[in-house]
Amino acid sequence: MKKLMVLLLLSCITLPAWADSIGYTVRNTEIKAKPFSDAATLATLPEKASVTIVQRMGGWVRISSSTGNGWVKMLNLRSSSARTGDSGLQSLFNVGRTGSSGITVATGVRGLSSEDVQNASPNPVEFAKLKNYAVNQNQASQFAQSGKLKSYAVEFVAAQ
């Protein structure tokens, strides 16, 4: 019950990370009642089934589909070939390229192209600012504490 409450609360406050984003399954995928492997299986999606992604929680995403609604493993889904037309990034953030305007930019947003990188000159003024923003290990540890972050011992996973 407590878990359910937490879930309900989370679903209210979590940002619509992938609101109405479309994905498709890369293998047969169980739809679970809750975002846990041992939760009840509601239905099974076949490979290449289209789903609407509603929300992410850890390695799970909540989906709706013609087969059923519930939670599926995030890495069972891809989006790329389900994509149709514009992602909306451009219109949403109104990416205004200022072309090869060089080093200093007075106004607005701009991109960062390979030409920009290749033609760049050093910017020691900005580099000095960068150094000033750096924090030390103690500050970072306090920051972690205030976010209730814990360290874990985890080994690297071998390449496959």
* Site membership for another protein, residue 100 (CB under 8 A): no
* Site membership for another protein, residue 107 (CB under 8 A): no
Selected binder of another protein within 1, 4, 12, 86 (CB under 8 A): 86
* Site membership for another protein, residue 49 (CB under 8 A): no
* Site membership for another protein, residue 87 (CB under 8 A): yes
Backbone phi, psi, residue 57, to 5°: -145, 110
Q: Which residue has the tokens 């760049």?
A: 120
Element (H, E) at 128: helix 124-133
Nearer to another protein, 8 or 147 (CB): 147
- Segment 65 to 84, residues that bind another protein, using CB under 8 A: 74-83
Selected binder of another protein within 28, 43, 96, 99 (CB under 8 A): 96
Strands, DSSP E only, in 2-149?
A: 21-25, 29-32, 41-45, 50-57, 60-64, 70-73, 77-78
Nearer to another protein, 46 or 126 (CB): 126
* Site membership for another protein, residue 28 (CB under 8 A): no
Per the document, the length of the chain is 160
* Site membership for another protein, residue 109 (CB under 8 A): yes
* Site membership for another protein, residue 149 (CB under 8 A): yes
* Site membership for another protein, residue 34 (CB under 8 A): no
The rounded distance, in Å, linking the Cα atoms of 6 and 10 is 6
> By the 8 A CB rule, do 28 and 46 touch?
yes
